[in-house]
Amino acid sequence: MMHFADSLTFSGRKVVAAWAALPFPALSGSSLPDILSAHQQDVPWKPLSSWREQKVSCCFAQSVVLRGICQEKATSCPGQPRSPLHSCESPEEVLQQFLHTQFPGAFSTSHVLQQPCDTRPPFPQFFSPLLTRRGFLLDKAQGCSSGGVESLPVLAALQSSPCLHSLLSGLCRELRAPKVRRCSSFFTAGVEQGDFQEALEELKTLAQCYETGFGASEDEADSD
């Protein structure tokens, strides 16, 4: 995983954020172009990393894997394509075109796998009744028990984006707080004060690597 993250980072950046859609929001019988066309204003996956959720409008690099969708029909009905996504010839091309539209100029790799994620026991059954056994969305809940969700279409992504600036800056502010410096056990565990301050400066420098010039200045960020 460390080497994989390294392949998505450059210009002093070392951190990537994890994103996922579990399940990927797909109606039963719908095609991948139909699904992604419904999310032109925002991506249909959510951050797993611990910062307040915000819309990501750009990124530096990303790797995206989608599982369990290409077994559905991959193109629209014959006739005039309803969107550029419907003119793509394969699920891989559909996903790549969607990523290019959402994040123009970013380095993106994508993979579409036919095998869905297996969610049979002992996988915990915490799913909504609006899911079929194969993990596709229903218009309304089923009237009787479906016997559990056996598989799911899933999307997962690693992304290097400017959102990591606020995450890393916030971590730096927390570590500079008086309550941390007053915690004697933190330093009696073997952490030297000088090493601690050096690590804080490195963290601050790392956070600055994710600035794009369109957000708050460094002083504004430190004063939040």
Report which DSSP code applies to 129.
T
Residue type at position 71: Q
Mean pLDDT across the stretch 101-123?
91
Mean pLDDT across the stretch 94-111?
91
The answer to whether 76 and 38 have CB atoms below 8 angstroms apart is: no
The tens digit of pLDDT for each residue in 5-53 reads 888 888 888 889 899 999 999 988 888 998 898 887 788 888 887 666 5
Above 90 in pLDDT, residue 190? Answer: no
pLDDT at residue number 98: 93
Mean pLDDT across the stretch 61-73?
80
Residue 132 vs residues 20, 38, 113: alpha-carbon distances, Å: 20, 20, 20
Query: DSSP letters along 4-16, please?
Result: HHHTT--TT----
Q: Could you state, in order of their start, the residue ranges of all structural domains in the chain? A: 1-160, 165-209
pTM of the model: 0.77
